[in-house]
């Protein structure tokens, strides 16, 4: 079953390549028009376009799901395999990241942060397979940012809407308009930071590759035969640049997005006030229970 899960984790990437070859028209020169639209679903409020970014996002999700099943299949308590050692190492690292940046209260966030890291990183790395990276579509990254913004707002309101509303007046009341603008700007900045860095890296890599091909044709185009058509300058150099623009930058942006998620959620949570109120409610319940027991004893 481990081998089956490993094969299934690779199949979505292969399916994405086949879909691109069969249904996405080949670009003539430089094409920065965005994700290809396969078809549009008519809805009462308007059309819902099914794009290359959406399809590739689902392929990434399927690939991660099957790879997680591969990693977690056959775990043991004794005589563990090398695969289990790697899995336990990853779990410990994510737990340590949560504990260091969010605290003990948020340890349950580990699966969510791991999902953000893996989904964002693999989505950006899809360009290495010649596929459109979902993180180059503002709609995809914007959806992630909205989800994170809902979590941030939820934890900010854990002590009630009144405490949340009062927080806009900190440190002084006349800064409330700026604090409100900052609150709304949080998901926007998270989305555009991730989207802009990934998209700009893809565009720069493509421009350099096209420029090197034209330079090669200019220098060696005078050679007769097929030799003059070989883009010598395009061999190797774009691959080296791809190590930064696709591999390093994609993983870095995934880490930054996850770090911002942790810092915004934990930083907006009024933990001291929440714990104080929780302790007060617990003391009130215990007092009411003790009074009830005393009343029953007096009646008896």
Residue extents of the structural domains in the chain: 2-269
Write out the two tokens for 216. 């090669």
Least confident of 6-10, 94-98, 171-175, 227-231: 227-231
134 touches 123 (CB < 8 A): yes
Helix axes 138-156, 176-220, angle to 10 degrees: 160
Q: At what angle do helices 82-101 and 110-125 cross, to 10 degrees?
A: 110
For 67, 184, 185, the CA distances from 63, given in Å and listed in that order, are: 6, 33, 32
Higher pLDDT, 173 or 146: 146
Distance in angstroms (rounded) separating the CA atoms of residues 222 and 224: 6
- Residue burial 161-184, b: 16+ Cβ < 10 Å; e: rest: eeebeebeeeeeeeeeeeeeeebe
- At residue 133, the 3 state secondary structure works out as coil
**C-alpha distances out from residue 81 to 2, 8, 77, 84, 210, Å:** 12, 21, 10, 5, 46
Cα 124 from chain centroid (whole Å): 9
pLDDT digits (tens, 9 = 90+) for 101-130: 998 999 999 999 999 999 999 999 888 888
pLDDT at 228: 62
Among 77-86, 123-132, 141-150, 264-273, name the most confident range. 141-150
Handedness of CA 99, 104, 107, 113 (dihedral sign): negative
Tens digit of each residue's pLDDT (9 = 90 or more) over 25-39: 876 656 666 788 899
Note the pTM of the prediction, 2 decimals.
0.86
Instruction: Give 213-260 pLDDT, tens digit per residue.
Output: 778 777 777 677 666 667 766 776 777 777 777 788 888 899 999 999
pLDDT, one tens digit per residue, over 129-154 is 888 899 989 999 999 999 999 999 99
User: Six-digit token pair at 88?
Assistant: 């336990």
The pLDDT assigned to 300 comes to 67
Structure tokens at 208: 């350099």
């Amino acid at each position: 079953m481990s081998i089956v899960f490993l094969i299934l984790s690779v199949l979505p990437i292969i399916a994405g390549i086949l879909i691109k070859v069969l249904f996405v028209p080949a670009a003539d020169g430089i094409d920065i028009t965005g994700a290809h639209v396969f078809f549009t679903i008519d809805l009462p409020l308007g059309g819902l376009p099914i794009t290359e970014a959406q399809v590739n996002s689902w392929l990434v999700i399927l690939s991660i799901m099957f790879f997680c099943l591969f990693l977690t299949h056959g775990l043991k308590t004794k005589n563990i395999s090398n695969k289990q050692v790697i899995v336990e190492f990853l779990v410990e690292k994510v737990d340590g990241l949560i504990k260091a940046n969010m605290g003990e209260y948020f340890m349950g966030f580990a699966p969510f942060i791991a999902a953000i890291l893996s989904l964002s990183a693999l989505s950006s790395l899809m360009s290495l397979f010649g596929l459109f990276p979902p993180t180059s579509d503002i709609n995809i990254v914007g959806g992630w940012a909205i989800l994170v913004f809902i979590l941030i707002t939820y934890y900010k309101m854990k002590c009630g809407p009144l405490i949340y509303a009062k927080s806009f007046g900190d440190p002084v009341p006349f800064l409330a308009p700026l604090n409100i603008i900052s609150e709304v700007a949080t998901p926007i900045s998270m989305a555009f930071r991730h989207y802009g860095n990934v998209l700009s890296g893809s565009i720069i890599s493509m421009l350099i590759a096209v420029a090197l091909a034209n330079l090669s044709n200019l220098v060696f185009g005078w050679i007769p035969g097929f030799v003059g058509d070989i883009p010598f300058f395009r061999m190797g150099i774009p691959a080296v640049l791809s190590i930064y623009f696709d591999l390093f930058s994609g993983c870095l942006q995934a880490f930054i997005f996850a770090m911002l998620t942790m810092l915004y959620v934990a930083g907006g949570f009024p933990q001291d006030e929440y714990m104080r109120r929780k302790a007060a409610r617990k003391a009130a319940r215990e007092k009411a229970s003790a009074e009830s027991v005393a009343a029953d004893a007096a009646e008896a």
